[in-house]
Structure 1
Amino acid sequence: MTRARYTQVSLDSTSCYHCICRCVRRAFLCGKDHYSGQDYEHRRQWVVDRLSVLAEVFAIDLCAYAVMSNHYHLVLRINQQKALSWSDREEAERWMQLFSGPLIVKRWLKGEAEDAESLKAEEIVFQWRERLYDMGWFMKCLNEYLARRANEEDCCKGRFWESRYKCQALLDEKAVLQCMAYVDLNPVRADMAGSPITRLSSSVQKPSAKVMRTIS
């Protein structure tokens, strides 16, 4: 029996997780469909660019990733302390890079809110703080964005992903390092690349980017 995602995430046990999401009905996320001749290779950059945006906004470190033809792998580290260190203003500004936010919060940020409005705005911002270190919200902001773009390009509606996502806890440093190696080598095992460094859509190619390569 499947379990709700929130029951699979326990920051008391570990902050690191391996997430996998696969397209529905073997649809193509990226790569070339040899039956139709349609090339979806450009979508790899969609995933990489969106991950870069979300890693800047969320208090979630991107340890490793690989974008395959019909699924992707992520190794994520939830950085709760980072989120708790943000001021209310910084936290609100981060969230509103992704969502427009209600008028009451915009007035509060400008210093135009009355006392009662300020209390309500701070209540809303407190909820946003929790979401910014919530892996479910990170994945939602990634998958919904990609599904909308893909469906728009394909001129269709409906599900793009097979399910929300699969999540596996990585309980110690050894497990995290093994999983990162597994993710980086995925394109090689699938004969999509001769070596990890020749694959444009995996984290091993971006040592200078903001990809967290250590556990501590």
Structure 2
Amino acid sequence: MTEPNRSPTEIKGEVRAYWNDRAETYDDDSQHALKNEAQHDAWLSVLHTWTGDAPQRILDVGCGTGVISSLLADLGHDVSGVDYSTEMLDRAREKAREKGHSIDFDVGDAEALDDLDDAYDTVTARHLIWTLPDPAAAIGEWRRVVRPGGRIVLIEGHWDFSGPFAGYERVHDDLPLYDGRSPEELSEFLRAEGLENVSHEPLMAEVLWGETPEYEQYVIAGDVP
């Protein structure tokens, strides 16, 4: 049951606690981490198509354990990652050291970034926007830190489960995009928040997730004017 009159800081604190608890086992799931070379190469192809040729300055928001950050670094991009979960970031730093990647990982709020205006060519985020109390504010921030003509690239889904999953019972009603959205709905949302040339593509290939997805997965992107 949702508790009334909770501040965004309190809501985010619960979300952070949930993902801190998940950090140790997060990469055990093939839908989260990469388990083989075919999966790795399939994601490289997706990211290259949607982010463009390297090198670019890319901020991976809600980077978690650094899966997408590492792939972007493999492509030759200059990558920074930010996440609200300190435990997730510890895992991301450890994995980056193991791979020899030079990626700056910092604690940060996706709705209130510390970065300067126009600091990046691209912002990426995977399965993040549904966890945010104010997704419109987040898009505004991502637009702010991306230079004009840059892109925002999101990997998203639409699951619409019958009820909140374990760990989100107390906060799901506080998250406007909980359960994700269809690509058509999210396209409308991104256009309303000022992105241009919004387009999307399904990501339903088994090789990307290690199994056939149980719900709609896709990549969606828009240009920053």
The question of a shared fold, defined as TM-score above 0.5 by the shorter chain, is answered with: no
Greater RCO structure (CA 8 Å; 6+ sep): 1
Larger radius of gyration: 1
TM-score range, shorter chain: under 0.3
- Pick the structure with more helix per residue: 1
TM-score normalized by the length of structure 1 = 0.27
